[in-house]
A and B are shown apart, each in its own frame.
Chain A
Amino acid sequence: MEREEIKSILESLLFVADGPQSAQRLAESMDGIDRKLIQEVLAELQSELETKNRGVRLVEVAGGYQLRTPKNNADWVKKFLGGRPARMGKATLETLAIIAYRQPITKAEIEAIRGVDVDGVITTLLERSLIRAVGRKDVPGRPFLYATTPEFLQLFNLKDLSGLPPLKEMEEMSLPEIPGATIAIEQAEES
């Protein structure tokens, strides 16, 4: 098969796919074309969509590849879709951050950091499939241990957990806040 043909088929497969697809899965469904070749072609497709400023981009997320609209088109897409806003509150976001960086973690451990009850937030996160119980901690009461899910990676555009922005060290925390520090981290992360 020609390289261009493979590229075209891959684009079709990713278009119809329901979630992120691993290179392995794509290779298997294309009669065992070498996975490395698949990855190469996907990288080509990715940069093509990028340079031509196309309306969909190929993103590596949650251990697979997925077609997503670029951020620049967000306003138009949103306007077109309309629909109810699904906002994430600060409490939810903070709890999710704690779980993401400290997983697996129990409810009591999260509460010790936040200083408030997190029952309701945990329920919301479980309902939205952003976290799941992955076991029980071997302490009295055997509380559930929570961890993030692939849906979490999808929501925040993360390839895997190692892609999480680095957490500040405790020593750095006592320094006075520098305005724009978080933005700097974000930019460094993207480049």
Chain B
Amino acid sequence: MSTHVQLEIFEGPLDLLLHLIKKNEVIITDIPIAAITEQYLATLELMQSLNLDVAGEFLVMAATLIHIKSRMLLPAGADEPDEDEGIDPRDELVRRLLEYQRYKEAASVLEQREILTRDVFIRGGGSTEEAGPRGFREISIFELLGALKRVIERLPKDAFHEVTLEKITVREKMTLLLDKLHERGSLVFESLFEGVRSRMEIVVTFLAMLELVKVRAIRIVQEELGGPILIEAAAGMDEAAEQVALDEEQNGA
């Protein structure tokens, strides 16, 4: 299976770090570097196992984190006794995180303005911007990965391993998901994986979900941080369903 998924919501190493910092409820200026590094690397691993394109920047940051971690282990000023003792190996990273967060916040303030073709319109304006339901927020790829990890961990760890030739394609899963959505309107993230027995099938299901987000057939939202993750139909759903059916016919022919 070599489906590559690239999503725009994928935001880079700084975004992942901010997410981990928030999740751990620690302060940016005093990051527990060992714990955060470990979680950062675990997320990269998960991303790689999903065949998500892990951009070089993520690896550079991994190296930076490990370097900082090793420097934290040295006694302060051991190699340069005359140097200012106050230099924290984390300083540069903290500065970058704060700077990035500053613009991230500025972006979200901008997003709340009265946006043309979303909130306000001018004569002859055609296209509209899709708005999420009130009170819901769009979820980040990192939160999704976290949820996926929990699903994988819940897999029964059978002592034996049954070798069957599973032929589930991402496209089939996309059709299944769309059918379920047609029936119920919205789904809880975990319910996508009901009855799923293998790690491979979980991954295929997850990729199918990401594909549908990409073509804007579905939207993944969450009412509050840490709350249930909901999958719901979006504007492009019917179109996507037709496209998937069409592709399947062609592939089957």
| CB of A1 within 8 Å of the partner chain | no
Contacts of B109 in A (CB 8 A): 165, 182, 185-186
Contact B14 A114 (CB under 8 A): yes
Most buried by A among B9, B115, B120: B120
Contact A115 B119 (CB under 8 A): no
What is the bound-complex CA distance between A114 and B107, given in angstroms? Answer: 12
CB distance from B114 to the nearest CB of A (A): 5
A-B contact count (CB 8 A): 152
Pick from A92, A116, A155: contact of B116, CB below 8 A: A155
Contact B105 A168 (CB under 8 A): yes
| CB of B57 within 8 Å of the partner chain | yes
Contact B113 A96 (CB under 8 A): no
Most buried by A among B12, B101, B126: B12
| CB of A176 within 8 Å of the partner chain | yes
CB distance from B178 to the nearest CB of A (A): 18
What is the bound-complex CA distance between A94 and B103, given in angstroms? Answer: 6
Contact with B along A42-78 (1 / 0, CB 8 A): 0000000000000000010000001111110010011
What is the bound-complex CA distance between A182 and B120, given in angstroms? Answer: 21
| CB of B198 within 8 Å of the partner chain | no
What is the bound-complex CA distance between A174 and B109, given in angstroms? Answer: 18
| CB of B123 within 8 Å of the partner chain | yes
CB distance from A14 to the nearest CB of B (A): 9
* Residues of B within 8 A of A (CB-CB), count: 52
Q: Which of B69-77, B127-135, B145-153, B165-173 lies at the interface with chain A?
A: B127-135
Q: Which of A4-12, A21-29, A83-91, A137-145 lies at the interface with chain B?
A: A83-91
Task: Name which residue of chain A comes closest to B126, CB basis.
Answer: A83
What is the bound-complex CA distance between A113 and B98, given in angstroms? Answer: 10
CB distance from B192 to the nearest CB of A (A): 23
Pick from B9, B126, B130, B236: contact of A81, CB below 8 A: B126
What is the bound-complex CA distance between A149 and B41, given in angstroms? Answer: 40
Pick from A83, A177, A182: contact of B127, CB below 8 A: A83
| CB of B235 within 8 Å of the partner chain | yes
Contact B120 A70 (CB under 8 A): yes
Contacts of A71 in B (CB 8 A): 114, 119-120
What is the bound-complex CA distance between A90 and B106, given in angstroms? Answer: 12
List residues 87-127 of chain B with CB under 8 A from any CB of chain A. Answer: 96, 98-123, 125-127
Contacts of A155 in B (CB 8 A): 115-116
CB distance from A75 to the nearest CB of B (A): 9
Contacts of A177 in B (CB 8 A): 22
Task: Name which residue of chain A comes closest to B6, CB basis.
Answer: A120
List residues 92-134 of chain A with CB under 8 A from any CB of chain B. Answer: 92-94, 96-98, 100-101, 113-117
| CB of B61 within 8 Å of the partner chain | yes
Contacts of B123 in A (CB 8 A): 15, 67
Contact B61 A115 (CB under 8 A): yes
What is the bound-complex CA distance between A82 and B236, given in angstroms? Answer: 12
| CB of B19 within 8 Å of the partner chain | no
Contact A85 B128 (CB under 8 A): yes
Contact A77 B121 (CB under 8 A): yes
Per CB-CB distance, the 8 closest pairs between chain A and chain B, nearest first, are: A85-B130, A116-B12, A89-B8, A97-B107, A115-B14, A173-B98, A97-B106, A93-B107
A-B contact pairs, 12 of them (CB 8 A): A74-B121, A81-B121, A81-B127, A82-B128, A85-B128, A91-B8, A91-B10, A115-B15, A168-B102, A174-B98, A183-B112, A186-B109
Residues of B within 8 A of A (CB): 8-15, 22, 27-29, 55, 57, 61, 96, 98-123, 125-131, 216, 235-236
